[in-house]
Amino acid sequence: MKPLIKHDGLVVPMDRANVDTDLMVPKQFLKSIRRSGFGPNLFDELRYLDEGVPDSDNSHRPLNPEFPLNFPRYQGASILLARENFGCGSSREHAAWAMEDFGFRSVIAPSFADIFRSNALKNGILPIALQAAQVDTLFAEVRTQEGYRLVIDLEACELILPNGDTWPFKVDPFRRDCLLKGLDDIGITLERAEAIHAFERGHKERFPWLFEDISL
């Protein structure tokens, strides 16, 4: 997982409430348990004019010209601006995988579904909850200012606007530390690898009979 310390990113708006995980990654793409390769199918039903097929080449599919992620001005965006209850629906972690694989490092919205928030943080994506009025301001500015960018300072827990204003945000201290270090759940465990090995050695010394081969 890539560390997130201070991120300067282009913002793309998605003016839609209650975006659920089925819309983010349709069910036909859930057969794979690989954590990569889902980016081209993020918001598949909205991005394309035809039906997506797993393991197919998306480069020649007809794009929906009215969907913001397809607008030339938003190409390369890494911060998604959305409305309330983002990530509702099923608990599929594929949604967070697709967001990360697409290139998003953060989602800004008034509120998030709890399970999506957890999955996002565990996969290197920072969900930032702001007041609805603040989100309204960002939507207005993104629409009127092409190339609109925000800076996320995770160490200070601040969002820095183009005019220099700073807006504080909250994030779980433990998950903040994991994002700063670029540690997912496996990485957190590996930080304690030496202690784990020491326990295993001691356990084997105390209970050697547990490690004997049993012949039937």
**CATH number of the domain enclosing 161:** 3.20.19.10
In a domain, 209, yes or no: no
Q: CA 50 to CA 62: how far, in whole Å?
A: 7
Q: How many domains does the chain have?
A: 1
CA distance to 13, 204, 205, 212, per residue, from 215 (Å): 64, 19, 21, 10
Ranges of residues in the chain whose predicted pLDDT is under 70:
214-216
* pLDDT recorded at residue 77: 98
pLDDT in tens, 71-103: 999 999 999 999 999 999 988 999 999 999 999
In a domain, 204, yes or no: no
pLDDT at 216 (0 to 100) = 52
Q: What is the pLDDT of residue 121?
A: 96
- pLDDT of amino acid 215: 58
**What per-residue confidence (pLDDT) applies to 35?**
78
Domain assignment present for 58: yes
Q: Is the dihedral of CA 61, 67, 73, 76 positive or negative?
A: negative
Please give the model's pTM, rounded to 2 decimal places.
0.88
In a domain, 203, yes or no: no
pLDDT of res. 214: 60
Domain, as residue range, for 85? 6-183
d(CA 22, CA 92): 8
